[in-house]
Structure 1
Amino acid sequence: MDDLLQLTHAGKALDGAPEFRGTCCAGGPDRAYGGHVVAQALLAAQRTVDPARFVNSLHAYFLSMGRPGTEVQYQVRILRDGGTYALRQVTAFQGGNALLSLTASFKKVESGPDHQIAMPHVPMPESVPAQGELVDRFWSGITSSVIRQSVEVRPISSNSADENAADHGGGRDRCMWIRITGGVSSDHWMHSAALAFCSDLALARTVALGHLDRQVGGKPHQKLFLTSLDHAVWFHRPCRTDDWLLFVQRSPTSGGGRGLANGEFWTRTGVLVATVAQEVLVREKQALTADARPIPAATMQAR
C-alpha cells in the first residue's frame, strides 16, 4: 500500500501552493479509482502539517473523471494553523483538468469524554469464507487488479448477521470485513490514507440496496447508473488497516436522482474508528437519452 499511495514533492505551483505528484489505479474501464485520488490528496495535505497532528475529517467533491496511470498533480493550500486544529485544501489536477477538491482537518491529541455505539454482532473474519459467491459479487464491478491485490474483502451473509440488526426498509445493513494485504508502514498518516482508500470501494453500490425487488430473488428491478458525487470521512480513533476492520454500510434514502450511503469502520475488538458518508448520482440507464446522459463518475463537472 505504501508504494501504491506514493507521492513525490514537486516544489510549488505558480501561486506558491505546495505541489505533489502521483498516479492512480483504475476503478473501472479507463477510469481512475476515486478512493485512490482521495487517499493521495489526503497524504498531500498531511505532508504540510505538524506530524503531531492526526487527521480528524475530510470532505471531498469529485469534479471530473481521471485517467488511470496518468500523473495527477495535488496542490495544497494552507487555510489555517491553529493551536489545536489545522485546515488544508487540496485540488487534484490531471492535464490541467480539476479532478477533485478536498478539505481536510488535522488536530493535536487531547483528552476528553469518550463514548461510542456498540459494534454489530457478526462472525469474526476467520469464520467468514474468503472465496465464494458473495466475494465474487463484490469484485464483479471492480476491474482493477491493483485493488484486488492490495485489499482483501470478506462479505458477511445477511443470514449470518445479528437477527436484531437494523432493517432500513430498503434492506438491512451490509457488512464486510476488509483489510490491506500488501502491508502498511507504522506511520499513522499512511493508515489514515489507506482507510480513505478502502472507504470508497462499496458505498456507491450500497445505494442500490434500496431498489431491490424482493419478489425476484433480490435482483435489482431496474438497471441503475451510480456514480459518486462527494465523499466524507470522520476519523475517530487511530487504527491499523493491515488488520481486519468491519465495514458496515447502509443507504437511508434516495430520490431526485441522488442517493445517500453511510457507514462505519470498526476494529475486530469493537472500537469505532471512522464514519463515512457519500452522495451518489442515481439514474435509470434505460431512461437516459443522448442529451440527458450523465457524465460518468467522480466525473461530474462542477454544477
Structure 2
Amino acid sequence: MPRAPLPAELPTIRDAQGTAWTRWAEQDPDIEMRVVAPNVADPVGRRKFWCRIVTDCGDDPRLQTALAAYLSDFTMVASIRLPHEPATTKQYLMSTLSHVLYFHRRIRACDWHLMDHHSPVAAGGGGWRCCTRTTLMASW
C-alpha cells in the first residue's frame, strides 16, 4: 500500500488556504478531501489524496461503486495538470473522456480512501490506485 499520513493527521482542503487545492473545496461540498503534501509540486506527477463522500448514501453496492468512480475522476485532472503548471491563476475546463477502473473488492465511498495518482506526462500517461489503510480496493 502507498505510504501516507492518516486523514486525521492532515489539514482539510478548506484549511489549506493559499494552495491550489482551496478552490477544490468549494466545488462539491459532499466530498471531504485531505491532500498529502498540498504545497509540494511533484515533478513526476504523483499526488495522494484521502477522500470520502460525507453525505449518507445508503448501502446499495452499485451506488457505492458509482460514487467511488466519481471520486477517482474528481482528483485525477489536478494530478495530470499540476506537475506541468503548478502555479496558475487560469481557469480550466478539463475532463477525462474515459478511464477504466478495476474494483478488486466491494467499496464504500463513505469510508476514507487514499487515492494515489501518478501522471508522468500530460499526454496519454496516467495511473491510479484507491486503497484503505491496508487494502487495495480499486485501480486503473
Query: Match of 2:65, SS?
Result: helix
Q: Which amino acid aligns with 2:77?
A: A
Match status 1:176 vs 2:49: yes
Task: Check conservation: 1:171, 1:209, Cα contact below 8 A.
Answer: no
Q: Cα 1:227–1:186, aligned 2, differ >3 Å: closer, same or farther? A: closer
Q: Which has the higher strand share?
A: 1
Within 5 Å, give how 1:88-127 maps onto structure 2.
119-127=1-9
Query: Match of 1:174, SS?
Result: strand
Q: Within 1, Cα distance between the matches of 2:99 and 2:18?
A: 24
Q: Cα 1:134–1:196, aligned 2, differ >3 Å: closer, same or farther? A: farther
Q: Within 1, Cα distance between the matches of 2:17 and 2:139?
A: 24
Higher CA-based Rg: 1
Q: Which residue of 1 aligns with 2:131?
A: 266
Q: Which runs of 5+ in 2 are unaligned?
A: none
Q: Which amino acid aligns with 1:120?
A: P
Q: Which residue of 1 aligns with 2:21?
A: 138
Instruction: Give deviations 1:137-166, integer Å, cap 9, x for gaps.
Output: 32515764xx22x11001111689xxxxxx
Q: What's the offset of the Cα at 1:226?
A: 3.8
**Aligned mate of 1:231, from 75, 85, 99:** 99
Q: Which amino acid aligns with 2:66?
A: A
Q: What's the offset of the Cα at 1:252?
A: 2.8
Within 5 Å, give how 1:288-303 maps onto structure 2.
none
What's the C-alpha RMSD, in Å, of the aligned pairs? 2.9
Match status 1:246 vs 2:114: yes
Q: Which residue of 2 aligns with 1:206?
A: 79
Task: Check conservation: 2:20, 2:87, Cα contact below 8 A.
Answer: no
Q: Cα 1:245–1:229, aligned 2, differ >3 Å: closer, same or farther? A: same
Highest RCO, 1 vs 2 (Cα 8 Å, sep ≥ 6): 2
Task: Check conservation: 1:178, 1:244, Cα contact below 8 A.
Answer: yes
- Paired residue total: 137
Q: What's the offset of the Cα at 1:219?
A: 2.5
